[in-house]
Every structure is written in C-alpha cells, then in structure tokens.
Amino acid sequence: MVAELTDDKALPKAERKALQIASAPKTSARAALVKLGDKASNVRAIGRSQPVHWDAARSRAYVDWAEAVADALPWPLAEARAELARVVAQTRRRLG
C-alpha cells in the first residue's frame, strides 16, 4: 500500500501530480481511502489557512487537482467521497 501512495520524487512536480490522477483508477480500496483522507485533510487546511506563499489561484488549483484525483479513484467509498465534496465546497467558498 505504501508504494501506491508514494510519489517518485525524481520526477518533476507536474508529472507527479498528473501520475496521481492517471494511476488513481488502479488504486486498491485501502489505499484509495487513505488518499481520500489525505486530500480532504489538505483541502481543509488550505480552507482554514491558505499557505502564505500561495495565492488564491494556486489554492484553487490544488483543490481542483485533489478533486480530480478523488474522482479518478475506482472504489465507491461514498462516505469518504461525500466528506471530500463537503470540504471542497467549503474551501471554495472561503477562497472565493
């Protein structure tokens, strides 16, 4: 499961982010649940306190990307997806 959740830091950031979306459909149920929780936690943190070195556009781009990763996951995980959707909506309202 760790291998499913670990990015290859030798790759450029943009490629790592694209690979998370591309590889999401092959993710196991357990790893998908961890990934959804991680994305929800990160989006929630951005909504509560936008990183100092990020502008609103970068924050919104992260939220969009996190949602795209979640949407590509193969498992239903209805409760976790609903929580992420709630957090995404709340963060988007705060970011404007």
Q: Report whether pLDDT(8) > 90.
A: yes
**pLDDT tens, residue by residue, 13-26:** 999 999 999 999 99
CB 21 within 8 A of CB 72: yes
Place of tokens 């030798």: 10
Collapsing DSSP to helix, strand or coil, 76 comes out as: coil
Q: Give the Cα separation of 35 and 15 in Å (integer).
A: 18
- Confirm whether 88 is domain-assigned: yes
- Confirm whether 6 is domain-assigned: no
- pTM equals 0.91
Q: Give the Cα separation of 37 and 42 in Å (integer).
A: 9
- Confirm whether 1 is domain-assigned: no
Strand residue runs (E) in 34-75: none
**pLDDT tens, residue by residue, 33-92:** 999 999 999 999 999 999 999 999 999 999 999 999 999 998 878 899 999 999 999 999
Q: Which CATH number fits the domain that encloses residue 64? A: 1.10.3210.10
What DSSP line would sit under 10-24, residue for residue?
Answer: TS-HHHHHHHHHHHG
Q: Which domain holds residue 30?
A: 11-95
- Confirm whether 2 is domain-assigned: no
Cα 70 to chain centroid distance, Å, stands at 6
Nearest residue to 38 (alpha-carbon basis) of 20, 26, 12 = 20
Domain count, the chain: 1
pLDDT for the residue numbered 96: 87
pLDDT for the residue numbered 77: 82
